[in-house]
Structure 1
Amino acid sequence: MLRSLERGRLGAAIGHNERTAAGWFVDRLAGRVMLLEGLPRILAAILAGAVAALALPPLDFPAAAFIAFPVLVWLLDGVGARRSLAATLLADFLVGWLFGFGYFVAGLWWLGSAMLVNAAAFAVFIPFAVLGLPAILAVYYGLATMLARRFWPDSAFRILVLAAAFALMEWLRSFVLTGFPWNEIGVLAAPTPLLMQVVSLIGVHGLTLAAVIVFAAPAVIGDRHGRMPVLAIAGLLVAADLGYGYHRLATHPTTFVDGVELSVVQANIAQSDKFDEEAAQRIFSRQIAVTEKGREARAKPAASESPASAKVVAVEPQGRTLIVWPESSLPFVLTERPEAVARLADMIQPGETLIAGAPRVEPTASGGERLYNSVLVVDDNGEIVDARDKVHLVPFGEFLPLERYLSRLGIMNLSEMPGGFSAGTERSAVELAGAPAFLPLICYEAIFPADIAASLGGARPGFIVNDTNDGWFGETPGPYQHLRLAELSAVAVGLPLVRAANTGISVVTDPFGREIDALALGATGTIESRLPAAAAPTPYSRLRNLPFFVLLAATFIVGVSIWLFVSRQTD
């Protein structure tokens, strides 16, 4: 009986729009989705989330989101009142949770490949990586739909409420339980530099807010109340995004720092080799060999140069060359290998500086040692002149949460080190001789733009160095997604990105996300490039998430105001 009454209410709500064929078609489609029950309804929610993931790198197909989010809206429209508030809240939650589960499984399935690097020890955890983590992350989307449904007006303005709820939960996902903002919805709307520029104003969370409105807009084409204002808002958001992106790129051509060259090394070493102690020297030698081959290519005269001019050698180096090695490129503690220090001193030529990812050991007051995942700076005398430790460690990858309890169950971190890495205390820029200072970001530290902006106090660095090792994930979407998130962070704060990845994707971009040069996933070689100059500090780098909170509050207030107005009209 209850379902029959609900069908009648839905039928009256969707009606028929006789003004346009598009409105009539959307009405019919919305009605079918709204009235789904049981297993078809569950599958529709999961599949809608999976379809949204098609907009992620490397496919970069944003049109998929224009299918996924309208289906989500219609599924929420079809959730009727239950016999109790708890049952109603659960029904609202489940729609978002199922959508999120489909989205995160389709977008993060590649995490299971990390368990296959040492399959004997970790293959048993593949179900948790592929299904368990998405199930946890989907809770945020379930909370978003549950919150949105508490203020769900019977008008097109409901997508503003939905956008505000999703943006709020994505913000929470960026820091709760150490944070994991991987593949935030805003990423779906930024496949090119043209569409990335707005993050310099409102950040990725602000882009999420706008993206949900735009992606969900087709759901309201058949609505009778509020359709035109909401579609106008969505159209204005698209026009503003495109217009600002075009203006920013057109008025800010790429410029370079005089006298500073880059040599970004991608040695393409299999992750499984890094667990073989006997392979350490071979890995070290390969890094040096690829570096020296890049130097030879850099020294080779251009076709327009005469052989005579190519033989002229300056007595003093003309500028500075920064050699950038990826995360864990030194497979041992450098200070414990004097022969390796001597070999680096031979490799680094006058006018060169090496920036390399490596483990670092520090003694403790109790006589023990702490191990850090670090970036070392080695000058042309072969001396370690500075270092920075990774602050934001990867749970289960570099350290084991609740280790005291989980270790008893035979669970350990993927780095297979008792105790794992220790976290650094602060993130700050590194000063260089003959070159601008840089901000080191190790691995997934590059996906937290708010943290990056917070570390830019004082003297502003000239560029970001993102040392990473995506070799854990093979040739899957993971490295492409990681690169996109790092690019968005760099655009948000207006700094060039110099990214060295063990197996790829290594890249040099200007502060607007335009690629200067790159090495493909699985390639071996070096990027020989000039260093792009930094942009002026962006609004996001100064204000961080403040503009986002203002937009979030405004969107929520408008949506709730409409809900209150409609509620009073129907009372």
Structure 2
Amino acid sequence: MKKYLSKLLNKATSSLSAQLLTAAFLGAIQVFAFAPFQQWWVLYPSFVGIFLLLKKVQQQHKKLFLVSFIFNLSMFVATLHWIYVSMDLFGGMPLIISALLIVLLCAYLALFPSLALWLTYKIPTKSSVIRLLLIMPSLWLITDWLRGWVLTGFPWAYLGYSHADTVLVGFAPILGVQGITLAILLICACLTLLTLKKSPKLASLLILAVVMSGYSLKQLTFTELQPAIKVALVQGNIDQNKKWEPNELYPSILKYLELSGIRNSKDNSGNDLITAKKPAETELVIWPESAIAGLEVDMQRFLQSLSLKFTQENKALLTGIINYDVNNKDYYNSIIMLGKLPPGQGYSQTSPNRYAKHQLLPIGEFVPFEDLLRPLAPYFNLPMSSFQRGGEIQENLKFSNSTLAPALCYEIAFPELLRKNVHEKTGLIITLSNDAWFGDSIGPAQHLEIARMRAIELGRPLLRSTNNGITAIYDSLGNELGRLPSNTDAVLRRAVQPAYGQTPYQQVGQTPLFIFCLLSLISAFVLIKRKAA
């Protein structure tokens, strides 16, 4: 086996072009670790392969950063290529320009992990144990953190998301998704050491310790279930090409009302009269992001009438809408609640029972350097691409005896943002989205995979309502309670138990990981100095 691997590695490193092709292949296969493919195991040959390749490249004094960059670039291109759908179908971009922009985005994202790999192999040490077990995972976590923060951040495709159905998921309520990433990197490092026959006992024991720790932690629960509440997630499946046309506003709303069990009719004077098909039990009805594709300020008569009817039916409605501040002339991507709500929380334009999105999507919701970019192409003038940010920390929404922590679309990919808004008495996580921008690509499946991890990290059920999919519900352990097929108009009804309490991750966040990185790098520095002495 060793002879075969050595022969294969020599062939893969025989020239710079061979190294780059090998690195591109090893990076590209990582897409299969994530949804919808969920072949988590491919990360291990991918990383072991790149570690062996970089060791060889280092010994040959060749293009170490370039090989690292191609590995990560191919990973991001394979994983994020679906972004082209929004550019092609809704942005009016020529194919060549769309492709170029995607490559540029992926090249930018690839700089962060490439820096980690480059530094890992540039730091002068002959010890593979120090390099792979102390330096590499620490630098990878640090550059991942930077990728999720610099220029508002893009924390997509963290390695840990791929392992939600493995024993390593036990680390999520303790350390968050990046705790799983650390476990994956340590196992990959140990497998590489075993391949190199370096410290095999240490490598074997560490793999066993990581796996057994993950298994043991997976058996623990940190939150306590509460009495169930009934929820109805409405998937309207509104055509994205027509959604923002003025004459489509009320037909879309009527469709949502019909799916919600409420129809619109006229009284004897011809005025709108909202009526119910049949009496309903107490229920939280959830519509997706910007389900009401109009300005809240312009729809007060309708919204007040709708809220009254939901109250009469002992129901509450949570829906996405656009809030316009007439005084400051600012737009906000918002969530409002109507209908049967706790005292003092009822609907009004100044009601506290609302949420304004904080983490805005670049280009989609705000355009950086807009004076320069907006004139270039329709893609930089998508509908509602000039939002203002809501506060980083906002009050939970309230329904019945429970409280709800909201996240709008892209925000669910920011674990620390949601963690700061989840409290001991937060019962549910609600995320509204509209992934119709990305058609039938793999993007919505990745988005759902990310949302599911938030339920596991914080030990709370997660309700995800979308325009055309994937609408789904997860319990406080991340187990799926139901989903709706994509591109269908339907309703997902379930009884869901809120959960109170705090996971260790909820209490301390990523602090333990920062401590690990600091101590690991200090230890590596001390050990390298000792060996050099």
TM-score bin (small chain): 0.7 to 0.9
Number of the residue aligned with 1:309: none
Question: Residue 478 of structure 1 is aligned with which of 414, 418, 443?
Answer: 443
Number of the residue aligned with 1:262: 231
Matches within 5 A, 1:146-545: 146-151=118-123, 153-157=125-129, 158-160=131-133, 161-188=135-162, 190-192=163-165, 194-245=167-218, 247-248=219-220, 255-258=225-228, 260-292=229-261, 320-338=282-300, 340-341=302-303, 344-345=306-307, 348=310, 349-365=312-328, 369-380=329-340, 383-384=347-348, 385=351, 386-410=353-377, 413=380, 415-417=382-384, 420-456=386-422, 460-545=425-510
Distance 1:550 1:509 in 2: 31
Q: Which amino acid in the other structure matches residue 40 of structure 2? A: P
- Shift in CA distance, 38/279, structure 1 to aligned 2, threshold 3 Å: same
Q: Which amino acid in the other structure matches residue 436 of structure 1? A: S
Query: Do the aligned residues in 2 keep the contact of 1:280 with 1:332 (CA within 8 Å)?
Result: yes
Number of the residue aligned with 1:298: none
Query: Do the aligned residues in 2 keep the contact of 1:507 with 1:518 (CA within 8 Å)?
Result: yes
Distance 1:243 1:389 in 2: 39
Residue 109 of structure 1 pairs with residue 72 of structure 2: no
Number of the residue aligned with 1:310: none
Distance 1:398 1:265 in 2: 24
Tell me the TM-score normalized by structure 1: 0.82
Distance 1:408 1:108 in 2: 26
Query: Do the aligned residues in 1 keep the contact of 2:112 with 2:143 (CA within 8 Å)?
Result: yes
Q: Which amino acid in the other structure matches residue 201 of structure 1? A: I
Q: Which amino acid in the other structure matches residue 449 of structure 1? A: P
- Shift in CA distance, 557/278, structure 1 to aligned 2, threshold 3 Å: same
Matches within 5 A, 1:84-163: 91-120=63-92, 125-151=97-123, 153-157=125-129, 158-160=131-133, 161-163=135-137
SS in 1 for 2:196: coil
SS in 2 for 1:275: coil
Query: Do the aligned residues in 2 keep the contact of 1:398 with 1:414 (CA within 8 Å)?
Result: no
Number of the residue aligned with 2:273: none
Bigger radius of gyration: 1
Distance 2:397 2:307 in 1: 20
Name which of structure 1's ranges 375-384 and 478-487 shifts more when overlaid on structure 2: 375-384
Question: Residue 16 of structure 2 is aligned with which of 15, 28, 38?
Answer: 38
- Shift in CA distance, 210/138, structure 1 to aligned 2, threshold 3 Å: same
Distance 1:383 1:204 in 2: 36
How far residue 173 of structure 1 moved from its aligned partner, in angstroms, is 1.0
How far residue 171 of structure 1 moved from its aligned partner, in angstroms, is 1.3
Tell me the TM-score normalized by structure 2: 0.88
Report the RMSD for the aligned CA atoms in angstroms: 2.7
Distance 1:24 1:564 in 2: 34
Query: Do the aligned residues in 1 keep the contact of 2:73 with 2:110 (CA within 8 Å)?
Result: yes
Distance 2:105 2:401 in 1: 42
Q: Deviation per CA, 1:503-556: give whole Å up to 9, x if none.
A: 111111112111122212223211111122215201111101111112223443
- Say how many residue pairs are matched: 509
Query: Do the aligned residues in 1 keep the contact of 2:170 with 2:216 (CA within 8 Å)?
Result: no
- Structure 2 residues without counterparts, runs of 5 or longer: 264-277
- Structure 1 residues without counterparts, runs of 5 or longer: 1-21, 295-312
Identity of aligned residues (%): 24
How far residue 334 of structure 1 moved from its aligned partner, in angstroms, is 3.1
How far residue 429 of structure 1 moved from its aligned partner, in angstroms, is 3.2
Query: Do the aligned residues in 1 keep the contact of 2:87 with 2:379 (CA within 8 Å)?
Result: no
Query: Do the aligned residues in 1 keep the contact of 2:224 with 2:500 (CA within 8 Å)?
Result: no
Distance 2:207 2:168 in 1: 15
Query: Do the aligned residues in 2 keep the contact of 1:111 with 1:129 (CA within 8 Å)?
Result: no
How far residue 138 of structure 1 moved from its aligned partner, in angstroms, is 0.5
